Structure formats: C-alpha cells, structure tokens
Amino acid sequence: RTIKAGGLSPLVIYGWFKCKVTDDGSGWMLEKITGSQRTKGRFFDNGEKRSIYLGSLSVNDDPAKPYGSGPQSDQVGYA
C-alpha cells in the first residue's frame, strides 16, 4: 500500500497493489509491480526493529533511476 504525504495534496492513500520482496544477497529489495506509478529500492537496517527504505519512483514501464538521482524520483521511508 502506498501513502504519500506532502506534494500537491497533503495526503493520498492508495489501494493495494502487488509488490515483490526479494533478497539479492546484499539485502532486502522492494519492487511495486502493478499500477502506473512504480517504486523500486532497498531496505537498510536501522536498529533491531526498524529499516530505512531508499528507492526511486518510476511511471508505467520507464526504468527506475537509482536512488540519489534527484527529488523528482527519490523516495525514503521507514518500516
């Protein structure tokens, strides 16, 4: 589920979409695989009970840019 805070609208809560979570040997990866707005990124440990997500937004079938490409695509979250 995607929740956006800030931007054009103060809060947007989307319905459920399919995601894929994998371990590529370097850590956990998240990829949203349905819907027109996609996200792809990696989780980093931040203590025993919290992870930080750093990822990138892409639209439709455009390839995701790496995190750090700029504010138009960068995403950050906690899990």
Question: What range defines the domain where residue 64 resides?
Answer: 3-78
Q: Which long-range contacts (CB under 8 A, 24 or more apart) does 57-65 make?
A: 60/36, 64/38, 64/39, 64/40
Q: 30-40: per-residue pLDDT in tens?
A: 999 999 999 99
Considering the entire predicted model, what is its pTM? Answer: 0.80
Q: 13-30: per-residue pLDDT in tens?
A: 999 999 999 999 988 999
Contact (Cβ atoms closer than 8 angstroms) between residue 28 and residue 46: no
pLDDT band at residue 56 under the 50/70/90 scheme: very high
Total number of domains constituting the chain: 1
